[in-house]
Structure 1
Amino acid sequence: MRKRATVYDVAQAAGVSIATVSFTFRRPERVRESTREVVLEAARRLEYVPNASARGLAHGRTGVLGLYAFDMFLEADGSRGARRVRVEAADRDDGERRAFADDADAEDFRVYPLYVDEVQRGFQLECARRGRTLLVGRGPGAEGGRMLDIASRVDGLAVFPGTQKPEVLAQLARRLPVVGFAMPDAPGDLHQVRVDNAGGARAVTEHLVREHGITRLEFVGAPEMPDYAERFAGMQAALGDLGLPVPGAVLDPTPLAAADPYPVVRRLAARRAVPPALVCASDQHALEVVQVLRDAGYCVPRDVAVTGFDGVVAGRVASPSLTTVRQPMEAIGRAAVEILTESLAVPDAGPLVRTFPLRLLTRESCGCPAPR
């Protein structure tokens, strides 16, 4: 059996002190970027996982499961993104409306639980039910130092999609069970919890065409995210099957928290040339797009139909309420714990994959009546 690499091996290979190696994983902001890259490259080459993992293997399992999430509202230096998003909410009982202003003291849709929050809640509830301790970590960056540090303290790890390099995930999966959420292109050793992204996008596309007579649809959202790419492909396939024009590329590939939000949509809005329907990669994209259109004088859905994907609470309380594809987010989080538990019990069972169906929720933003 191959000898497990130690902090001393990494330090020697990188030409740094063991303290620098330790800081790279636990306090990466204290290490110069160029040095950090050298250390992490040495760690990847040696398939090094920090010492806590080795201690756990030597003295028995920790009883802890880890959950690692990118933070879509953190910049590379860890500060909050400058752009804030306004959501106009409606009180369904008396019609009172509140506009959340675009200033430093205003609330916005981030006060509502998002996809990551709802999945995390399911993960936490299932850990509690099984008597497991939960360790949560999050942060930006593709290097994997913080994720490896979390992995060093747990028996198994669940990871949200982000900018993690595939080789880092593959390295982890050789050392402990790892579950990926929404990672259709994940390394082969990873367990996965997935949803039918293409089927969900097909359902919302067919609804817009068949129920609202819309024959030109465009997609908004960053196609480099694998789950978003699946959703775009589902929309393309549905349009092709319906004999309608199929867009060859995403209309506006703006990622979440971009410094320049939706420039293509804004340019089209300024020319009064926005297509009749915008199918958005997520509810967060859709809520932002609705505000961009409102600022340009458009009325949703009278002028443009807008749909989302995920089914977060903010979409239900927004005005107009958001037509979306609902993911069973709590169940997704619980399933990750189940998979990690099963994998720990039967380590050589091979990658486990669970796929959840989705549900179309029709609301006002596509022209349907408000839900009762």
Structure 2
Amino acid sequence: MSQKKITMQVIADTVGVSKYVVSKTLNNKLGVSEATRQKILFTAKQLGYSKEGQQEPALQSSEVKIENGYILVVLPNYEYQSISYTYWGAVFQGISLGIQDEKAGMVVITSEMDLSKKVDVTNLLGIITVGTLDEQTLIALSEYSLPIVMLDHEGRIVRADSIFMDNRNGIERMTDHLIGLGHTQLTFIGEVAYSQSFYDRWLGFRTAMERENLAIAAHNSALLTIPYNDDMELTLQKHFSRIGFNSSTFPTAFVCANDHIARRIIHLLKKNGLDCPNDVSVTGFDSLDEDQNASPTLTTVQVLKQVIGRRAVDRLIWRIQHKDYPPEKILISGDMLLRESIDTPKNR
């Protein structure tokens, strides 16, 4: 069976533009934006388009000498680079080591700065953003027209690669494990608006519950909006007091959006006469080093924090050399670490 000929119309239909725009692009005419031009050239190459007497359209290539440039790392605040900031400090360390391995330079700024005045674009290779940044900052960064890799965040408008832990699948597997132990009254705790990761973890919990036809308690919707801040434990105390810590409807297991929240829940349970895991099981996410000596040891999802930082650098270097490829979202899997904080549900 002969292969269908790839025409300009096929390329136009694939990209979502007119045949006229494709023709102008392939014939090197003016009047097509650079983003559209690169998309058309990329699609034409992938589809195997060729025109008699004309060479295959050439994609933009970047032979950049990494050692001569530097990478801009943008943080929400400078605390993110401190190793005492357990999660992001380790991620930042991975970024730093990855950049050192590439023999490139690094400049660190925060999103609070005036980017138009603080960034010297001379020899700037690309940008890595860490954590949640506001859309205005991301738009300002995109105006440099350089590759961007975002860690634990996705821009709604900005064209960039993003790297996340596989948050949804990690919590989904954790919830499945608790259900397998016999838990049916499970509750998720985490402010879903706090970050994309928290929201994805909530989706993983909900997916596992719905698959097993288990009802999500009506009070869980209120928990999803409790701010993740210093007053969180006090707010949770008031919330659960209304339900009753010894009520038959009180959860037998809490699936928490991260380890910090899980530790607050364990402390709150103890204050109210409940033991973890004998009365209530609790799980976290992140596998923080600071938590390993606490009792009970916490069941959690392992996050390879330095690996994520290094992966961001690897991805940025690849993107510098492959600007024509469409943005990608990369998910890094983490293992479940089953420890002392979970058990089979206690009969009530």
Q: TM-score, normalised by structure 2?
A: 0.68
Determine if contact 1:170/1:189 at 8 Å carries over to the other structure. no
Question: Which position in structure 2 is the counterpart of 1:355?
Answer: 331
* Matched residue, 2:99: 127
Tell me the equivalent position of 1:170: 139
What RMSD, in angstroms, separates the aligned Cα atoms of the two structures? 3.0
Please name the residue that 2:12 is paired with.
none
Partners of 2:77 and 2:274 in 1: CA distance = 31
Gaps of 5+ in 2: 1-29, 31-65
Number of the residue aligned with 2:190: 221
Are the aligned partners of 2:73 and 2:108 in contact in 1 as well (CA < 8 Å)? yes
C-alpha displacement of 1:210: 0.3
Q: Which range is displaced more, 301-310 or 347-356?
A: 347-356
| Alpha-carbon distance change, 133 to 297 in structure 1, aligned in 2, over 3 angstroms | farther
1:288 to 264, 269, 282: 264
CA distance in 2, matches of 1:281, 1:194: 14
Match of 2:131 among 161, 177, 186: 161
**Are the aligned partners of 1:62 and 1:155 in contact in 2 as well (CA < 8 Å)?**
no
**Paired position in structure 2 for 1:96:** none
Deviations, residues 313-351 of structure 1 (Å, cap 9, x unaligned): 123222111111112221111111112212223333332
> Is 1:311 matched with 2:287?
yes
User: Does residue 88 of structure 2 align to residue 116 of structure 1?
Assistant: yes
Cα distance per residue 1:269-327 (max 9 Å; x no partner)? 57324421111111111122222222333211122211111111123222111111112
Range moving further from structure 2, 266-275 or 147-156: 147-156
Bigger-Rg structure (1/2):
2
Tell me the CA shift for residue 265 of structure 1: 4.1
**2:207 paired with 1:207:** no
CA distance in 2, matches of 1:149, 1:304: 53
Identity across matched positions, percent? 24
Distance 1:168 1:335 in 2: 23
CA distance in 2, matches of 1:296, 1:111: 34
Kept in 2: contact 1:123–1:333 (CA 8 A): yes
- Counterparts in 2 of 1:85-100, with a 5 A limit? none
| Residue from 300, 303, 309 that aligns with 1:327 | 303
Which residue, 59, 72, 96 being the options, matches 1:66?
Answer: 72
Which of 201, 226, 237 matches 1:254? 226
Q: Give 1:268's aligned residue.
A: 240
Partner of 1:301: 277
State the match for 2:313 in structure 1: 337
CA distance 1:127–1:324, shift in 2 (3 Å): same
Change (3 A) 1:276 1:343: same
Aligned to 2:58: none
SS of match in other structure, 1:134? strand
Which one-letter code corresponds to 1:347 in the other structure? Answer: K
- Aligned partners of 1:148, 1:249: CA distance in 2, in Å? 41
CA distance 1:66–1:295, shift in 2 (3 Å): farther
Question: Is 1:145 paired with 2:117?
Answer: no
Match of 1:192 among 151, 162, 174: 162
1:366/1:266 Cα in 2 relative to 1: closer, same or farther (>3 Å)? farther
Specify the code of the residue in structure 2 equivalent to 1:344.
I
Q: Give the partner amino acid of 2:72.
A: G
In 1: Cα distance, 2:92 partner to 2:137 partner: 22
2:208 alignment partner AA = A
Offset of residue 261 of structure 1: 3.3
* Contact map agreement 2:149 2:161 (CA 8 A) in 1: yes
The superposition leaves residues 31-71 of structure 1 with CA deviations (integer Å, 9 ceiling, x where unpaired) of xxxxxxxxxxxxxxxxxxxxxxxxxxxxx997222323335
Matched positions, count: 269
- Secondary structure of 1:258's match? coil
What residue identity is the alignment partner of 2:109?
Answer: G
Uncovered stretches (5+) of structure 1, i.e. residues with no partner: 2-59, 75-109
Distance 1:66 1:111, change over 3 A: closer
Q: Is the 8 A contact 1:115 1:312 kept in 2?
A: yes
**Cα separation, partners in 2 of 1:193 and 1:288, compared to 1, 3 Å:** same
For 2:178, the aligned partner's letter is L
Q: Which runs of 4+ in 1 moved over 4 A?
A: 71-74, 110-113, 146-154
Q: What is the Cα deviation at residue 249 of structure 1?
A: 2.3
**3-state DSSP of counterpart to 1:246:** coil
d(CA) in 2 for partners of 1:168, 1:206: 38
Alignment partner of 2:270: what SS?
A: helix
